[in-house]
Chains A and B, each alone.
Chain A
Amino acid sequence: MEIRGVHAKVGEFELGGIDLKVDEGKYFILLGPTGVGKTILLETLAGIHRVVRGQICIDSQDVTHLPPEERRISYVPQDYALFPNMNVRENIAFGLKMKKVTKSQIEDAVGKYANRLGIAHLLDRPPQQLSGGEKQRVALARALIIRPRLLLMDEPLAALDQATRRDFWVMLKEVQREFGVTFIHVTHDLEEAFILGERIGVFINGRIVQSGIKEEIYKRPSSLGVARFLGIKNIFRGIVQDMDLRKGVGRVTIKGKGLTFSFELKARLGAGDEVDFLIRPEEVMVIREGKPIKESLKGNIFEGEIRKIIERETHHTLLLTEVGQGVTFEVDIPNYVMRNLKLIENQRVKAALRRESLWIIPGKGG
């Protein structure tokens, strides 16, 4: 599926110049804060809103001006929109019935999809009697049964409790692989995005501002806006000092602090450029006394004092203040490492930033 320069206007809201390519059979996550037009983008893809400019292609067929019923794009809205006047069986069968498929074929297909999604025991129930998770499964079965070329899901797990959501993470991915349907899944939840998405598009203010594989988005956000939305800590304003093009290494100083780190050169920069740079909390290392220091850490070592230790489910977060300049870093340490290191508050430790993990946000910054 490919969309090129799509503009759509719905009431006061304007969707501006969307470009996006999703390969067939992939799980694509559209990640963005709530209320920025993600639903409108999905509905535009489904054919509900008129495209003012641009093109939407599926399997190299231009569907920009096709009505929704001719696109073969299924849609699962956030509230699932199960038809309240039909029971679960009729809801799932709806799409096939509209296509005038024979009764016995419909029955077989409904049975197959209901079994696969674990809702065979609910077929005669009205949707009003289902739990959130059950509704989601029915909506998914109803959307998949027509064998769509593309399945759009709008915040499908937002209304579910944490345990049910975790079950769905596994199930959604399995179902997607099994049926080989291209999924576009909209969410505002970072964890959900990184667990499910093979590729992720970050959607802010009516535009896709960055799109790529998750590692790329996660470690190398294209702008400060993306970095902030991703909740990345340890973002600093800095000035590029010098560059060694032969080694592919540069040095950057935190503005006004005189604390300098080296980084791997990945973009065209000039000495004296003002930039934003970041390092993810899990990429900051606490160095064990007496342990040999890796080459990539050299030049990025500093002494810090642990100001606070916050215990989390899978890791501990340290607030580590560098001793000389008073710059504070957030450091995430897995629980098992924490147990070995036996760190306590107010302790002084040596820490280092991995050179390859230090990311300079391209452009002028700001």
Chain B
Amino acid sequence: MKALKGMKGNRLFRAATLGCLIALVGFFLITILSLALYVDWEILLSTLVSREIFFAIRLSLFTATIAAGLAMVFAIPASYALSKTEFWGKNVVDTLLDIPIVVSPVAFGSALLIFFNTALGTFIETHFLRFVFEVPGIILAQFGVATALAIRLMKSTFDSIDPRYEVVARTLGCGVWKAFFKVTLPVAKNGVVAAGILAWARAVGEYGATVTLAGAMQMKTETLPIAIYLNIASAQVDKAVAVTFILISLSAVSLIALRRMTGRGYSL
């Protein structure tokens, strides 16, 4: 234990923590670099303009945008309620909303699939909208996963907002709605933007729940992650690598946007 005390101990501590950090950065850099080195730029370009990949990009952007939009529509009020309202069973509700985050997406997708085999699920499918092996299924799967993430982020944002802003706004003549839209929501802007971007990025990258509920059908339910899977499965590695590259680029753009729009790195 003597070696862990004094100046020597300090140096050892710094070396140990920084060492782990460098190892991790190295791990991710090597992974991304190897991908960049592997990419054949000609194939990448031709892949980008191919009908299949163009379809996957379009489908991914479309479904993820709708899923993230819907996620925010529900997550903002729900997380507000979770943060500011006291009610019986709040802890249970809080835990329940975390399920899509901790449970494997495949399991979550399977649960959705099974739901659509129940009487209620079948009724919805026949009378309202078809989800199983259809585009709405992709949106629903992405929505489930993205909402959980958005709620988590938004709740911590609302938790950090001084409740007295609303109290003061109300004494100055605002009703509850006006106080929320004029004060709380604008104060929460950075958190809302961050949650929206991360929910969108999560929806774009969603694979497990999507493939289970909506299937992996070329040119039908083929989002970018599913395109990677289909191309690897059919041994078209070059194409798969190109799609991976596109997907990683999209994530990188989201991360940059996140930092730009919130003015800082957003901590989860």
Contacts and interface: CB of A to CB of B under 8 A. Distances in A.
Given A11-B86, A83-B187, A85-B187, A75 B171 contact: yes
Contacts of A273: none
B173 A85 contact: no
Interface string A179-209: 0000000000000000000000000000000
A143 B174 CA distance: 13
B183 interface: yes
B189 interface: yes
Contact of A98 (B164, B174, B187): B174
Contacts of B169: 83, 94
A113 to B, nearest CB: 13
A47 interface: yes
B178 interface: yes
Interface in B57-102: 86
Contact of A69 (B86, B171, B183): B171
Contact of B189 (A85, A143, A146): A85
Nearest to A100: B173
12 contacts: A46-B170, A47-B170, A47-B171, A74-B172, A75-B167, A76-B168, A77-B167, A83-B165, A85-B183, A98-B178, A143-B172, A146-B173
A68 B171 contact: yes
A95 B162 contact: no
B26 interface: no
Best-surrounded residue of B171, B172, B186 (most CB of chain A within 10 A): B171
A11 B90 CA distance: 14
A158 interface: no
B164 A79 contact: yes
Best-surrounded residue of A83, A84, A143 (most CB of chain B within 10 A): A83
B265 interface: no
A43 B183 CA distance: 19
B184 to A, nearest CB: 10
Contacts, number: 65
Interface residues of A, number: 27
Contact of A46 (B86, B167, B173, B186): B167
Interface in B201-225: none
Interface string A10-22: 0100000000000
Given A67-B175, A69-B175, A81 B170 contact: no
Contacts of A143: 171-172
Contact of B171 (A11, A71, A79): A71
A81 B169 CA distance: 10
A69 B174 contact: yes
A175 interface: no
B158 to A, nearest CB: 14
Contacts of B183: 83, 85
Nearest to A48: B167
A48 B176 CA distance: 11
B186 A95 contact: no
A74 B187 CA distance: 21
Shortest beta-carbon contacts, A-B, top 10: A95-B172, A98-B173, A81-B164, A68-B170, A77-B164, A85-B186, A75-B171, A81-B168, A69-B173, A68-B171
Contacts of B189: 85
A47 B166 CA distance: 12
Nearest to B189: A85
Contacts of B178: 98
A73 interface: yes
A194 to B, nearest CB: 28
B170 A77 contact: no
A94 B179 CA distance: 11
Contacts of B186: 85
A76 B171 CA distance: 10
Interface in A17-64: 43, 46-48
A142 interface: yes
Best-surrounded residue of A76, A94, A99 (most CB of chain B within 10 A): A94
Contact of A81 (B86, B162, B174): B162
B42 to A, nearest CB: 50
A77 to B, nearest CB: 4
Interface string B149-172: 000000000000010110111111
Contacts of B164: 77, 79, 81
Nearest to B187: A85
B159 to A, nearest CB: 16
Given A11-B86, A83-B183, A84-B187, A43 B174 contact: no
Nearest to B179: A69
Nearest to B175: A69
Contacts of A83: 165, 168-169, 183, 187
Nearest to A148: B171
Contacts of B171: 46-47, 68-69, 71, 73-75, 143, 148
